[in-house]
Structure 1
């Protein structure tokens, strides 16, 4: 494991990746910690901010191009930016069940599942976790 591929990437990719990793870690803490407390609300705002950074920064990342400069991941970013205000609104209205549902699904979809796709060969996070792939040595 080496951070070198990530540190060699563009600054927008670095911001995106570090915000996503922080949101992943904070999300895990949020799910384990007591709900409805001042720390839960405060850390929740930090998580929302990090998710805005993750989704927003993705619009300047064009490594995979499906629709012009964009990919299906950008649709997930749009969905994330739509869900986040609703997630906050549900918490403020004390609609705990819907808040929990939105938070869990956003965490799983936008961080866990999308994060697993970054581990595919050819992606920067694959190189970070598994090392750089080298061309097979030829005869000689």
Structure 2
């Protein structure tokens, strides 16, 4: 394992990857920790900011071009940009069940599933974990 491929990547990729890794770790903590507490709310806002950073930074990454400068992963970023404010609004409205479902979906789809695709041979995170 070496961080060299990631550290040699563009600024957008570094921001994207480090925000995603932080969101993955914090999201796991949030899912396991008690809900509705002050720490849950504070860390939840931090997690939301990380998720927004992950989604928005992806629009400056053009490694896989399928539709002009964008690839299929950008559809997931659009989903995050749409779903994240909805899930936050549901927490504000005390719609706990829909807030929880939205956040779990963002975690599983926006981080875990998308993260698995970064391990595809030829991608930077594959190089980080497994070498060339």
| Unaligned ranges ≥5, structure 2 | none
- What is the aligned partner in structure 2 of residue 138 from structure 1? none
Within a 5 Å distance, the mapping from 1:61-140 to structure 2 comes to 61-132=61-132
Q: TM-score, normalised by structure 1?
A: 0.93
Aligned-residue CA RMSD (Å): 0.5
Q: How many equivalent residue pairs?
A: 132
CA distance in 1, matches of 2:75, 2:35: 30
- What is the aligned partner in structure 2 of residue 41 from structure 1? 41
| Unaligned ranges ≥5, structure 1 | 133-140
- What is the aligned partner in structure 1 of residue 17 from structure 2? 17
**Structure of higher CA gyration radius:** 1
